Each structure stands twice: as structure tokens, then as C-alpha cells.
């Protein structure tokens, strides 16, 4: 085989490989899109993050079950909606999936501390991760998260994004969603959560399994107080 023919065969192989990768990526994103369209009008049964946690739990307890019950938006206390927006994403109603100013502030904070202490992720970004991805960290995973975030914002109204988020967020070991969290920690339904109870759940959200075991942890009450003060001004979709 001449050098020219070998070069042509090599280029053809590269083109075929890139085409196969592009087709695979398209198939994955069409799969994401199909699920998002279904969730416009149907409850989420299970997320990738739930499945990941379930595998962890069943490795220790084969009969383990998740505490999870979907409830519609109107059956979730407005206190919790406002508390989560105040704590997690104050610009939720205004941005299109990314809070660029928040991301810059998080980068500066991490650089100052010399470690990752802030993420800058919006509610939509967190929902993207919870629905389709795992807790692993890599540039590829962040890229996928960004693509899914754009899809969520394009295909769902803000109110539905918040509704799904409040239903699937982790709030303890095997505890997912507002209804399960309200019953686990306060013995009430998500609709009955008071402002202080909602603020506590919002304060726990960044590290729920730790705070589930350490509800008197230093700093938690301070965070609850800050969130409580912000609840009245939090804007909902």
C-alpha cells in the first residue's frame, strides 16, 4: 500500500470514528430530550442520582428502599419554595440556566481558599445533574451538565423546573424530595412546612447526609437565620 493510500485509509477511519461518536452523542441527547418532554406533564419516577444512591444503600442493606413521594407544585409550601430559591439560586427567575456572576464569585472564592468551597451552580444545573448524571466530577460531566441545563431551560417553564427540583433533591440517606423530607424531619406534609422548617431544609440541602447525622452542626443555625431573613424577598416563577 502506497503512502497516499495509507493516508487516505487513515483519514477515512478518523472520519468514521468521529461520525460514530457524533451519532452516539446525538442518540444520548435525544434520549435526554425525550425524558424532559415526558416530564413536562408527568411525575419523575426515578433519577440517575436516586439509582446511584440506591446502589450504595443496597450494597449495605439489600432490602433498602428510598423515601420518595412526588407531590404537585401546589402541595409544596411556598415557604420551602422561597427558602430554596433564597439559599440556592436567588436569580432563578431571571437567568437562562447559568448565573455567570455567581460562577465568577465561586471561582474567586475557591481560589482564595485554595480548595473548592463554592460551586455557583443554579437550580437548573443541579436538576440536570440529579436527573441524568452521577456525583462524579470531571470536565466531561460538567459539559454534559451544561448541555442538559440548556435543554431544561428551553423545554420546561421555570415553575416546572422548580417543581421537579423540589421533588427529586436529596435530603438525607435515601430521602428524596420535599414530601419525604418534611415527613422525615418534622412529621408533616410538604404543604405544612413553616418558614423556619423550610429554612432548615434549605440549609441542609448542600450536604444533606451530613446534616441528617449532625443537626446541631456548627454554622447550621447561622445559615438557617440567614435564609429566614431572605425568604420574604425570594422571587418565585
**Residue pLDDT, tens place only, 167-212:** 999 999 999 999 999 999 999 999 999 999 999 999 999 999 999 9
pLDDT of residue 115: 47
As a whole number of Å, the end-to-end CA separation of the chain is 65
Please name the residue ranges forming H helices in the chain: 3-39, 48-60, 78-88, 100-113, 123-132, 139-155, 158-168, 178-186, 195-204, 208-213, 220-230
Domain ranges within the chain, ordered by starting residue: 1-42, 43-233
pLDDT of residue 138: 80
CB 152 within 8 A of CB 127: yes
Model confidence at 131: pLDDT above 70: yes
Mean pLDDT in residue range 72-83: 98
pLDDT of residue 117: 44
Q: What is the pTM for the complete model shown?
A: 0.87
CB atoms within 10 A of CB 90: 17
From CA 81, how far away is CA 83, in angstroms rounded?
6
Q: What percent of the chain has pLDDT over 70?
A: 83
CB atoms within 10 A of CB 235: 12
* CATH architecture label of 43-233: Orthogonal Bundle (1.10)
Reported confidence tier of residue 119, pLDDT bands at 50, 70, 90: low
Model confidence at 14: pLDDT above 80: no
Amino acid at each position: 500500500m502506497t503512502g497516499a493510500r495509507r493516508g487516505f485509509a487513515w483519514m477515512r477511519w478518523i472520519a468514521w470514528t468521529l461520525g460514530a461518536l457524533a451519532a452516539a452523542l446525538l442518540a444520548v441527547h435525544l434520549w435526554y430530550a425525550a425524558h424532559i418532554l415526558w416530564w413536562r406533564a408527568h411525575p419523575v419516577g426515578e433519577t440517575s442520582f436516586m439509582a446511584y444512591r440506591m446502589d450504595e444503600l443496597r450494597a449495605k442493606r439489600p432490602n433498602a428502599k428510598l423515601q420518595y413521594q412526588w407531590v404537585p407544585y401546589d402541595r409544596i409550601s411556598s415557604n420551602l419554595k422561597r427558602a430554596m430559591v433564597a439559599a440556592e439560586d436567588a436569580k432563578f427567575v431571571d437567568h437562562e440556566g447559568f448565573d455567570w456572576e455567581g460562577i465568577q464569585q465561586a471561582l474567586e472564592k475557591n481560589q482564595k481558599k485554595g480548595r473548592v468551597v463554592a460551586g455557583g451552580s443554579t437550580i437548573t444545573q443541579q436538576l440536570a445533574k440529579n436527573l441524568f448524571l452521577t456525583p462524579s466530577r470531571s470536565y466531561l460531566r460538567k459539559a454534559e451538565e451544561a448541555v442538559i441545563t440548556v435543554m431544561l431551560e428551553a423545554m420546561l417553564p421555570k415553575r416546572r423546573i422548580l417543581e421537579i427540583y423540589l421533588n427529586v433533591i436529596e435530603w438525607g440517606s435515601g430521602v428524596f424530595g420535599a414530601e419525604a423530607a418534611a415527613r422525615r424531619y418534622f412529621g408533616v406534609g410538604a404543604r405544612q412546612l413553616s418558614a423556619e422548617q423550610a429554612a432548615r431544609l434549605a440549609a441542609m440541602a448542600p450536604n444533606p447526609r451530613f446534616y441528617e447525622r449532625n443537626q446541631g452542626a456548627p454554622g447550621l443555625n447561622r445559615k438557617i437565620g440567614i435564609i429566614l431573613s431572605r425568604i420574604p424577598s425570594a422571587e418565585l416563577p
